[in-house]
Structure 1
């Protein structure tokens, strides 16, 4: 290396900043010495670039849109670097050494191109869906994009050149996340509330200079309310797709359909399929409401007796004195009051088909012996009849009782039990296959809506509540709950407020929706005070001042709305600020704004405590914190 030339580099640093002088070696122009102006140029193009040792020819080619830099002396080469025109010339200074002069053509910089690039960058940021807020190292706002106008009702032009603490003190947002990132010198992510009711997720990222100081802070602000709306839509679409994909598992007609999406129910359905192919009798066991009747109908529809009758008899509903005549029939004149033509019993009516004896554990012992006789292939005689009747009927027995225990107690014949249990199926309780709760809900809701010609849907919280409920009454209880909610709920969305109290037990540790939390907070649940204390305590005076005539005739819900209206109106009137009102009520500022709009409280005309009319909705109010 030419040591004399290199020793003169500090002197060459007196050259203008747009002129660079370098000493290079080798055909790739490896930089051995350079002026500080060249170091500044490399930092403009590559923040982490080290000039010394740089292969200059490759570096110039890469940053000049692939323009080739020839290794031939003489002449002048025009380049485009850092969005401006540059020129390069060089001469050899020794064996395999070169002195290179690189200078920027400051007189011919295309200001129109620079302006075009600036406008392009400005247009890109203003068309971003998320909000963008940029401050410098002193907390001064440099740029706010147009998305903040939509998200938070903030005029970007009003923010430019101001310290970010000014709109914070004016109440335009609840937290200056950019200032936190500036002070802590790290990425900060935090929720932020705005006066128009928007709740956003703000991620502020600091950018550092070479000395490690914060040069800029860039905040990306996303409207969470839009995200939650999209998530609900996605969840509804996924749930619909799931149910459509499982359409093959929703069997039989609308009245005798079995839902089998869980593993345990699929296993149970497999057992029912095998039982349908068998000609012998079947015993179906399970708790009340698990679908034993539907299972028996399923077996009948898939057996070779599907064209014959299916008759279901609830043995517990027939008085003991009539059970024999109901099951086996009677001849004319069999007893006083009997039909003159006699009557067929259920066994005879079910000939060539299937007879379901539900709650068989309730049968008297003498009837159990007669049924065992029929099961063994023997005939029976009607009451008052002499002719033996033989029928071709398949018997399916069902019970929610423990037949083992009844046998031990002598209340059920052991021989009949042993005859029935050869082919037995256990219907699982709903708590053992909760995966089927949502499909069952959708099925029963759809059937009820078609029946009453209405349109209803469940909120996600209601679905979560149903999934947490233990359902001691199993599918029967679930069906009744869905039909009740579909018939009695107001509006098209079934929400938590529509649920009866016994179904809310599973939601004690579940986060409620913001609207439902707000309702409970306004009733004082957060500080341990109940609604009764609020209504009949200090707030009753506020209600009288606002003209509320006590509990309205509309019922509890309207009473809650009147209470909320009076609480919010009084808090806004006395504080003159949505933030101060929110602090007094113990809820978020965005909730105050949204509730006021829902309840018809006119924010722009609330009288402040000093008698002035103030815009409490505007964050820049003189009374804002």
Structure 2
């Protein structure tokens, strides 16, 4: 076998020009590419894959991938997980020669092939993470324990779940994907509610159906009803003579995401409740209803219970939507995900913008200290801005925007609250606040000391002084 080709044939009946170009791309790729059957048998492999595996291609075709990849350290359950979940799944491995590799399995349907493995050398990324996360021994341990660091809907954004908090969110989202009950996604703006809604859809039995999104706060109330429910022919002056199919009906056999559900006007809340209760959609001006098969996912960054108390959101609609509920924590509550998010963003931006950038450890550490009130969306904007504006191949700490580094939210609360008075008392208050935040973020005195650049004994003494050692 020759890579991804069929057995060699005479040139007169050989590959077309396009197929030859495709072959050259596959064979010239630095990443290893392996096509597998649903049972994990190797169907095809490119030259880079054979180098990672360490065996001649002819000797591995038809063999189980777990028997040849990384001397048997590869888990057989990896392939079954990709096939069953229809999601991209990643694993990290350390090779005997000191290299570190990332193996990503993606679902495909091409003849007998069901999974394509992409094997990438990520030694430099690991070294960067090690520098950011601490001593080599500790970082080596966390790297070896990494599992399912990324789950990606086939055409969606990656769900980076390095932290325990985000792993719990991902696991709950995958549990929700197994049923058709409504899901309410709660979280601050920019936390990735839309990404998790897409993950739920792609992991569900509805994955082959449409995934439709409507932002309930971005469309005027007079138009939103027609967008959601559609309208019949001649329903009102200026209406399309053919009528209009609403998004609920367009999402038939799929999933509809009602983004910013807290902004849905009260009048439309009644109509949405009627659909959730009866399963019927009544387009504007229609004489009879329709019964589309739709799974509803709603998302909001607002306190719906407070809205219910204020009378701006219906309690009965809340109960209908809140059958399954997922809270997505803000980025400041899982900063350990930031290095992995930045690495993923740089990779995506390289594909989209054609600009390859690395990031220096001190720059990554500085980014990790920012509060990011806009969460992952704000982090993405910062990274994209750096990729576009930094002329060198490595992003340094000095390249970070001054307005972000100096923003008031980046300062401890004690600094913002100081309005004059006793300077010594204000400084003690500030020191206690900085120490408290460092201990909360890093968990131990040794890590907090390393972050603040002082001895652990200093942290212990100051903690006792300010009553933080309880």
TM-score interval, normalised by the smaller of the two chains: 0.5 to 0.7
Q: Does 1:429 align with 2:330?
A: yes
1:290–1:429 Cα contact (<8 Å) kept: yes
The offset of 1:454, in angstroms, is 1.8
2:129–2:339 Cα contact (<8 Å) kept: no
Which consecutive aligned stretches of 4+ in structure 1 deviate over 6 angstroms post-superposition?
239-245, 506-509
After TM superposition, the structure 1 = structure 2 runs for residues 602-617 of structure 1, keeping only pairs within 5 Å, are none
After TM superposition, the structure 1 = structure 2 runs for residues 151-190 of structure 1, keeping only pairs within 5 Å, are none
Q: Does 1:235 align with 2:235?
A: no
> 1:280: which partner in 2?
181
Q: Secondary structure at the match of 1:357?
A: strand
Q: TM-score, normalised by structure 2?
A: 0.56
Unaligned runs of 5+ in 1: 1-231, 510-625
Q: Does 1:475 align with 2:367?
A: no
Q: TM-score, normalised by structure 1?
A: 0.42
CA distance in structure 1 between the aligned counterparts of 2:125 and 2:196, rounded to whole angstroms: 35
> 2:149: which partner in 1?
249
CA distance in structure 2 between the aligned counterparts of 1:280 and 1:484, rounded to whole angstroms: 39
| RMSD across aligned positions (CA) | 2.4
> 2:341: which partner in 1?
440
CA distance in structure 2 between the aligned counterparts of 1:281 and 1:294, rounded to whole angstroms: 16
Q: Secondary structure at the match of 2:159?
A: coil
The offset of 1:443, in angstroms, is 0.4
Q: Secondary structure at the match of 1:318?
A: coil
> 2:364: which partner in 1?
463
Aligned equivalent of 1:370, options 271, 279, 286:
271
The offset of 1:248, in angstroms, is 3.5
1:465–1:503 Cα contact (<8 Å) kept: no
The offset of 1:254, in angstroms, is 6.3
2:156–2:198 Cα contact (<8 Å) kept: no
CA distance in structure 1 between the aligned counterparts of 2:144 and 2:293, rounded to whole angstroms: 40
1:466–1:503 Cα contact (<8 Å) kept: no
Q: Secondary structure at the match of 2:161?
A: coil
The offset of 1:505, in angstroms, is 3.7
2:148–2:161 Cα contact (<8 Å) kept: no
CA distance in structure 2 between the aligned counterparts of 1:347 and 1:501, rounded to whole angstroms: 45
| Residues 234 and 445 of structure 1: CA distance in aligned 2, closer, same or farther (over 3 Å) | closer
CA distance in structure 2 between the aligned counterparts of 1:245 and 1:311, rounded to whole angstroms: 37
Aligned equivalent of 2:244, options 321, 339, 343:
343
> 1:501: which partner in 2?
402
> 1:290: which partner in 2?
191
Q: Secondary structure at the match of 1:272?
A: helix
The offset of 1:255, in angstroms, is 3.4
CA distance in structure 2 between the aligned counterparts of 1:369 and 1:384, rounded to whole angstroms: 17
| Residues 508 and 421 of structure 1: CA distance in aligned 2, closer, same or farther (over 3 Å) | closer
> 1:267: which partner in 2?
168
> 1:356: which partner in 2?
257
The offset of 1:378, in angstroms, is 3.3
Please say which of residues 276-285 and 238-247 is displaced more in the overlay: 238-247
CA distance in structure 1 between the aligned counterparts of 2:302 and 2:310, rounded to whole angstroms: 13
Q: Secondary structure at the match of 1:366?
A: helix
CA distance in structure 2 between the aligned counterparts of 1:474 and 1:233, rounded to whole angstroms: 23
The offset of 1:237, in angstroms, is 7.7
Higher relative contact order (CA 8 A, sep 6+): 2
2:330–2:375 Cα contact (<8 Å) kept: yes
The offset of 1:496, in angstroms, is 2.1
CA distance in structure 2 between the aligned counterparts of 1:317 and 1:441, rounded to whole angstroms: 29
Unaligned runs of 5+ in 2: 1-123, 132-138, 413-470
CA distance in structure 2 between the aligned counterparts of 1:508 and 1:408, rounded to whole angstroms: 34
> 2:8: which partner in 1?
none
CA distance in structure 1 between the aligned counterparts of 2:258 and 2:406, rounded to whole angstroms: 36
The offset of 1:380, in angstroms, is 2.2
Q: Secondary structure at the match of 2:151?
A: coil
Tell which structure's C-alpha radius of gyration is larger. 1
Q: Secondary structure at the match of 1:250?
A: strand
The offset of 1:502, in angstroms, is 2.9
Q: Secondary structure at the match of 1:303?
A: coil
